[in-house]
Structure 1
Amino acid sequence: MAEDDRDRMPFLLLLPNLVTIAGMCLGLTSIRFTMVGEFQTAVILVLLAGLIDGMDGLIARRLRATSEFGAELDSLSDFLCFAVAPGLLVYRFALGEAHALGWVFVLVFAAAGCLRLARFNVTRGEDGAGKTHFTGVPAPAGAMLALLPVYLTLSGIFDVRDAPVLTAAWLGIAGVLMISRVPTISPKAMRVPRWGVGAMLMGTVIVVGLVFSRFWVLMVVLDLIYVATLIPAIWKGRRSLLR
């Protein structure tokens, strides 16, 4: 084999990492728009980063291009996109008037995201590829929960800027859920009965319609539905929530 051939890597093996880098760029750009007060754009970029986060691992598995490098890169990108960017966004949007209290909860949320990802890195090989539950709320879902106050304001339901203390407390709760021992269901464990296929298809139509008509209301509803799925697990494991 020629020397040049040995020094080259197939493009398909690089593709998952390129997708991860694209997601990281979205998270960093979200911070840029947060700094200039373009909050709607900043939120949408975080949401897009969440979609990309679900794609890079899938692409890597399909192409058989998984690697330790890619896994570590993904965690670093997740920390920026789903711990730092949402925390800064919520602070700039609603917590500036809360001063030190608001910033403390931003730090709590970011630290929780960091701890969550560090724990995932250490334990990701223990349960195998087919595990049906996560331990705690995954970082992308934690980011979506943290952004609930922003969704509420942009939808016109309630202006959280009038209640910065409650917003700060919610940010802390989202952080605690990420580092908790609450078992949250993995998409791999989801099973749809045959009678539910029609309902799922109709629900998809409704969701698509809301995306183009009442997008922020849709995000509020999705967040509340997710919280509702967590309540039974939180109640059952309330004594060992942070063990």
Structure 2
Amino acid sequence: MSDEPQNECEDATLGDEIGGDRVSMPILSLLPNLVTLIGLSAGLTSIRYVLQENYQVAAALLVVAALIDGLDGLLARKLNAASHFGAELDSLSDFLCFGVAPGIFIYHFTLHSVPGLGWVFVLVYALSACLRLARFNVSRNAPAPQGKAHFVGVPAPAGAMLALFPVFLALAGWFETREWPILVAIYLGGVGVLMISRVPTPSPKAINVPRNRAIWVLMGVAVVVGALATRPWAVLALLCVIYLAVLLRQAWARRGTWR
């Protein structure tokens, strides 16, 4: 008898959530989660193309997943559809797209020639991504860091792009990283360490564009988009170099403040 009221309560909750006779759920509130699932599908499909050695498509899919990762959160805020379910789904998607998929990619691309050592550094990277996302989950409601808005450590999507830096270099024809697997393995482990470090990293929220310079910023974005359409791997490699330089500058400028 004690179970019956509990079941009735559960039924009522499910009815509220799925849009029963009592409460209907606007379809727009499901849109952010659907976008997250599209990003997750891109990450899973990237692994498929890696196994087929179609590295260009695989890399492009991970870049798409990184772009989608910023879109689902924006949609959730604009539609007032943020939820704990969506946050957890986004975190799980991030681990696969930016922790597991890049690790498998780099291993299959170059580290398979040193399988023991290579896999160890893949594990370091993937576990670092997992730990970073877990830390983010438990501190999601914590007060924002003091001073200019910034991330603590490298965010998972940015970490994935940095992890793919050796791939971008090779696909751009600048440097054949597949001939240097040990160097790539050490670099991948270093990216993992950056993800779980306390190094302050740039946040888009800290970017303030004066009105009189907005047109120049838009022109710059248009140039980057156009370059991505013609020389995508070279542009992505260059963006990774710029981001690494910014990280070094941030770490040096705040070396006495972060712990």
Q: Out of 70, 79, 88, which is 2:95 matched to?
A: 79
The SS at the match of 1:21 is helix
Q: What letter matches 1:148 in structure 2?
A: F
Q: Aligned residue pairs: how many? A: 241
Structure-2 separation of matches of 1:58 and 1:35: 32
1:188: Cα distance to partner? 1.0
Q: Out of 150, 154, 162, which is 1:133 matched to?
A: 150
Partner of 1:58: 74
1:197: Cα distance to partner? 2.9
Deviations 1:107-137 (A, max 9, x none): 0000000000000001111125998111100
TM-score with structure 2 setting the length? 0.87
Structure-2 separation of matches of 1:106 and 1:79: 14
Structure-2 separation of matches of 1:188 and 1:238: 22
1:185: Cα distance to partner? 2.0
Deviations 1:43-63 (A, max 9, x none): 111010011100111111111
TM-score with structure 1 setting the length? 0.92
Q: Out of 120, 127, 133, which is 1:117 matched to?
A: 133
1:93: Cα distance to partner? 0.6
Q: Out of 89, 113, 116, which is 1:97 matched to?
A: 113
Higher relative contact order (CA 8 A, sep 6+): 1
Partner of 2:249: 232
* Structure 2, gaps ≥5 residues long: 1-14
In our comparison, the structure showing a higher alpha carbon Rg is 2
1:199: Cα distance to partner? 3.3
The SS at the match of 2:230 is coil
Provide the alpha-carbon RMSD of the alignment.
Answer: 2.2
With over 3 angstroms needed to count, the CA separation of the structure-2 counterparts of 1:183 and 1:155, relative to structure 1, is: same
Q: What letter matches 2:135 in structure 1?
A: R
With over 3 angstroms needed to count, the CA separation of the structure-2 counterparts of 1:198 and 1:143, relative to structure 1, is: same
The SS at the match of 2:37 is helix
Structure-1 separation of matches of 2:236 and 2:43: 19
C-alpha contact (below 8 Å) 1:181/1:240 kept by paired residues? no
Structure-2 separation of matches of 1:240 and 1:167: 31
